[in-house]
Amino acid sequence: MAFLLFAIVLGLRASHILNKRHLETLRATWWPIFAETAASEQFAADAVLPPVRARQRLMLLREWSRFRGLVMGQATVSLNTLAGRLDLLPLARRYMHRRSVANRLLGLQVVGQLRDRDSWDAISAAVEDPNIALSVTAATALTDIDPDRAIPRVIPLIGTFVRWPRTQVGRILNRAGPDIVSTRLCREIADAPFDAAILLLQFADSAYAGDINAVAEKLLTTRQEPALLSAALKAARGRICPERVVELTRHDVWYVRMQAATFLGRAGTFEDLGALEPLLSDREWWVRYRAAQALVASPFLGPNALRRIASRQKDQFAHDILQQALAERGLA
Amino acid sequence: MSWQPILLGIQWLFFGYFILIYAVYAGLNVMAMIQIRRYLHIASLTDADNVFSTLDLPISVIVPAYNESSTIITATRAMLQLEYPDYEVLVVNDGSKDDTLEKLKEEFSLQPFPEAYRQRVPCQPVRGVYRSLRYPSLRVVDKENGGSKADAMNAGINACRFPLFCAVDADSVLELDSLRRAVRPFLEDPYVVAAGGTVRIANGCTVRGGFLEKVGLSRNFLARVQVVEYLRAFLFGRMGWDYLNAVLIVSGAFGVFDKEAVVEVGGYNPDAIGEDMELILRLHRLMRAEKRRYKITFVPDPICWTDAPEDLSTLKKQRVRWHHGLAQSLMLHKGLFFRRGGGAVSWLAMPFFYIFELLGPAVEIVGYAFMTVAAIVGWISWEVTGIFFCLAVGLGVLLSTSALLLEEMSFHVYPRMRDLFRLFLVAIVENFGYRQLTVFWRLQGLYGWLRGNKPEWGVMKRSASMAGGE
């Protein structure tokens, strides 16, 4: 049995070496063509292309997709025309329906890159596949094909598919751009239940500051869940509902107080400095630290004013934390 | 009264034990294959777009150092070059008696820093915190010696700033993208509280400037055997348990943790010999007790390389210590054993670790002795004894080869064909003497724990590969 297993190991290694060689040959032939195509304004319809053997087609599809993933703008159009000449689309569509997850992933990725509207329904069905990799690749493909149509379908699913890799979701939203994402995302956050709202707020950077500030203000004034208040304070990018934020610096839950302090450091005014100073004596280190950082970063306080604040602290913890924040800025 | 049925019963008990242990390993193997394939699918997707996302979580790399004067500069320099958008390096000088701190001060232009240090998990007093004038992301915590790595790690946890921390040994060699790979599970699943990385053997590899330049196999037999052992332990041991969310060990050489979760359980236990395993068991215990959704996971990519002992004396001390630590950790958390709502941790992993990992050496030694004596005195036939030994050895070879298969299906770390043959040869040879020797050492570890002895720490002689990397 062990010898049989080792024979399989050797077989795998031999196949790995052969595949690697084939891949190197294929790359040596095709990557210059891909690069030339990407660099040219338009793919020359009469260009002479090397012959592709049947067994090379899967590898070519993979390499084309990999190269296509590296370029943007006009280059993608030229590469898609080249893919048309190579008949890659029918191949990708077939792979999309294969049993193997790896092949389905490749198929979905390529139909997305080729912006194949005819595959919309099939991809749309795959978005709800229980396999996370398949569902998130399908969502990416839909966004590649038609972001206007895809985003309203994808955004509600972000809150549902909690296991979608956040990096991938961030990439989908960034590719679609704030013009398409902003309003939809913010509306979804405002209407979403607790868990989904927290998840969606992590992608606040994909929305315009005005939209996200409006929804953060709404959440801060209407909702009470500490985790949601904290997420809303973190997401806000401008000065919103100052009285409410100051009130939150006295919240029972420490991370809400910490986010309120961070928020005041980021968007507070001279009037808010008074709310930060008591936080230097907070029982939680992070609240003290964020308050100290906020004070030190404030454009309304110079080094002397900060030293005066430090010297009037009766609480040793408050004094120490402000000293640390000053030292971090080289002001100690 | 006839002894025959009793002898037959004992004989079947040993046979049954061996068959059961290998059946479990075979099951773990299958689960590991599924898990690795799944992991590679997702990794191929996210690797294709090799752009750092702004969503990457900031992380503190904690490097405990006790008398690491000869390695600390290279190690710290290597840590500072890791490819990751937002991280800090925190070296904890655990009251070193050599010039570790002085070397760090000189090399990185360290200046005392008025850190408002807060003690959230217990550790020995901190004498000072230093910040590098040349590397803003480097800080050094100088503390009184706590007599354990756990105590130094706790000081690091107290001083670190980011929500995740990475525990790294000062003599670990990391891949440039180690952090990105190890943090990925936290990005993909918000319920992950700890992620272990695969540790590989650095002996025989070319290490330069603290980074791995070329993978190779050591000429030293012991180091080669440990390559196979580590493949077995990490690729199908941990990946298999990962499938069931029942990983019980995250290696101390490299692991990423959610800081708040670790603080909640009280940090590392300074009295634990195997502080890495003890922490994971405590995390399981807390999460299970509070019925919280959580995941302790494992990253199969080879992200950390470590020096393995090349002499019997150091290897013995290491194995005795590891088994002592295993016994201590399992006994400290016996409450997890068959606990209602404990899931795969309580009902599969813990019983497996108790019966097969902890008591395995005792059963194995007694089994070998019994079968041999029984054959000599004629209680059982030599044929049966022969079958027993063939089974024990054959299944051992099979397991090691299946680990090679997993490696070949996934990462192809050893590029040369002759390395594969050498590893296969080692997978066979290790079953004749070496395995029995390590079983005996593990039994000594168990005995030492029962007697309450404190295990010895050997002085690790650095291999040529690591010494060349200074």
| Closest of A197, A140, A199, A132 to residue A174, by C-alpha | A140
**Is residue A34 over pLDDT 60?**
yes
**Is residue B20 over pLDDT 90?**
no
| CA gyration radius, chain B | 23
Instruction: Please give the structure tokens belonging to residue B270.
Output: 């300074």
How near does any CA of chain A get to the CA of B408, in Å?
A: 6
Contact criterion met (CB < 8 Å) for B46 and A168: yes
φ and ψ at B294, to 5 degrees?
A: -160, 165
Is B344 within 8 Å of chain A by CB?
Answer: no
φ and ψ at A43, to 5 degrees?
A: -75, 130
DSSP letter string, B349-377: IHHHIIIIIISHHHHHHHHHHHHHHHHHT
Chain B residue at shortest CA distance from A204: B55
**Cβ contacts of A242 within 8 Å, gap of 6 or more:** A268, A269, A271, A272
List of chain A residues whose C-beta atoms are within 8 Å of the C-beta of residue B118 = 285
Domain boundaries, chain A: 28-39+55-139, 241-332
Contact criterion met (CB < 8 Å) for B424 and A9: yes
Task: Of A8-22, A157-171, B401-415, B433-447, give the range with the top mean pLDDT.
Answer: B433-447
pLDDT tens digits, B361-389: 998 888 888 888 888 888 888 888 888 88
Cα(B143)–Cα(B139) distance, rounded to whole angstroms?
13
A27-41, A158-172, B365-379, B431-445 — which is least confidently predicted?
A158-172
CB A152 within 8 A of CB A182: no
- Please report, for residues A228, A322, B278, the alpha-carbon distance to residue A299 in angstroms, rounded to integers and kept in the order given: 29, 16, 48
pLDDT confidence of B48, banded at 50, 70, 90? Answer: very low
Chain B residue at shortest CA distance from A326: B114
Chain A residue at shortest CA distance from B162: A286
Is B50 within 8 Å of chain A by CB?
Answer: no
Q: Which residues of B352-372 are buried (b: 16+ CB within 10 A; e: fewer)?
A: bbbebbbebbebbeebbebbe
List of chain B residues whose C-beta atoms are within 8 Å of the C-beta of residue A255 = none
- What's the length of chain A? 332
Chain B residue at shortest CA distance from A317: B116
pLDDT tens digits, A204-229: 999 999 999 999 999 999 999 999 99
Q: Which of B45, B116, B424 sits opposite A105 (nearest CB)?
A: B45
Cα(A284)–Cα(A304) distance, rounded to whole angstroms?
26
Cα(B370)–Cα(A295) distance, rounded to whole angstroms?
75
Is B138 within 8 Å of chain A by CB?
Answer: no
Task: Of A1-15, A163-177, B319-333, give the range with the top mean pLDDT.
Answer: B319-333
Interface test with B, best of A166, A205, A313, A316 (most B CBs within 10 A): A166
Cα(B192)–Cα(B247) distance, rounded to whole angstroms?
12
Is B177 within 8 Å of chain A by CB?
Answer: no
Contact criterion met (CB < 8 Å) for A166 and B187: yes
Neighbouring-strand partners of residue B306: B201
pLDDT tens digits, A50-104: 888 888 888 899 999 989 988 888 889 889 999 998 999 999 999 999 887 778 8
- As a whole number, the mean pLDDT across chain B is 87
List of chain A residues whose C-beta atoms are within 8 Å of the C-beta of residue B25 = none
ipTM score for this prediction: 0.71
- Tell me what pLDDT residue B281 has: 95
Domain boundaries, chain B: 4-20+354-455, 54-351
- Tell me what pLDDT residue A264 has: 93
Instruction: Please give the structure tokens belonging to residue B55.
Output: 């969503």
pLDDT tens digits, B245-260: 899 999 888 999 999 9
**Is residue A126 over pLDDT 80?**
yes
Cα(A306)–Cα(A326) distance, rounded to whole angstroms?
8
- Tell me what pLDDT residue B1 has: 56
Superfamily of domain A241-332, CATH level 4: Leucine-rich Repeat Variant (1.25.10.10)
**Is residue B288 over pLDDT 60?**
yes
Q: Which of B53, B114, B427 sits opposite A323 (nearest CB)?
A: B114
Between residues 346 and 405 of chain B, which touch chain A (CB distance below 8 Å)?
A: 394, 397-398, 400-402, 404-405
A16-20, A184-188, B144-148 — which is least confidently predicted?
A16-20
Q: Which of B46, B400, B424 sits opposite A167 (nearest CB)?
A: B46
List of chain A residues whose C-beta atoms are within 8 Å of the C-beta of residue B187 = 165-167
How near does any CA of chain B get to the CA of A244, in Å?
A: 27
- Please report, for residues A144, A254, A265, the alpha-carbon distance to residue A91 in angstroms, rounded to integers and kept in the order given: 19, 56, 55
List of chain B residues whose C-beta atoms are within 8 Å of the C-beta of residue A12 = 405, 408-409
- Tell me what pLDDT residue A208 has: 95
The set of long-range contacts for A178-184, using a CB threshold of 8 Å and a minimum separation of 24, is A178/A206, A178/A207, A178/A208, A180/A147, A180/A148, A180/A151, A181/A151, A181/A155, A181/A206, A181/A207, A182/A206, A182/A207, A182/A208, A182/A211, A182/A212, A183/A211, A184/A151, A184/A152, A184/A155
List of chain B residues whose C-beta atoms are within 8 Å of the C-beta of residue A16 = 408, 412
Cα(B8)–Cα(A264) distance, rounded to whole angstroms?
78
Q: How many CB pairs under 8 A join A and B?
A: 97
- As a whole number, the mean pLDDT across chain A is 89
Pick the CATH number of B54-351 from 3.40.50.970, 3.40.50.920, 3.40.50.720, 3.90.550.10: 3.90.550.10
pLDDT tens digits, B164-213: 999 999 888 888 888 988 988 887 777 899 999 889 998 888 888 778 88
pLDDT confidence of B54, banded at 50, 70, 90? Answer: very low
Q: List, edge to edge, every strand of the sheet that includes B110-112.
A: B110-112, B126-132, B138-143, B87-94, B59-65, B164-168, B254-258, B192-201, B295-306, B173-174
CB B254 within 8 A of CB B195: no
Provide, rounded to the nearest whole percent, the portion of chain B with pLDDT above 70: 93
- What's the length of chain B? 470
CB B468 within 8 A of CB B73: no
- Tell me what pLDDT residue B469 has: 47
Provide, rounded to the nearest whole percent, the portion of chain A with pLDDT above 90: 51
Q: Tell me the mean pLDDT in the region A230-235.
A: 94
Contact criterion met (CB < 8 Å) for A16 and B408: yes
- Tell me what pLDDT residue B52 has: 37
Q: Quote the pTM value.
A: 0.78
pLDDT tens digits, A139-161: 999 999 999 999 999 998 888 77
Contact criterion met (CB < 8 Å) for A165 and B41: no
Task: Of A191-195, B140-144, B269-273, give the range with the top mean pLDDT.
Answer: B140-144
Cα(A122)–Cα(A68) distance, rounded to whole angstroms?
22
pLDDT tens digits, A253-303: 999 999 999 999 988 888 888 999 999 999 888 899 999 999 999 988 888
- Tell me what pLDDT residue B463 has: 66
Interface test with A, best of B54, B162, B408 (most A CBs within 10 A): B408
Q: Which of B45, B54, B56 sits opposite A133 (nearest CB)?
A: B45
Q: Which of A1, A8, A132 sits opposite B398 (nearest CB)?
A: A1
**DSSP conformation class of B318:** H
**Is residue B104 over pLDDT 50?**
yes
**Is residue B50 over pLDDT 50?**
no
Angle between helices A74-85 and A101-113 (to 10 degrees): 120
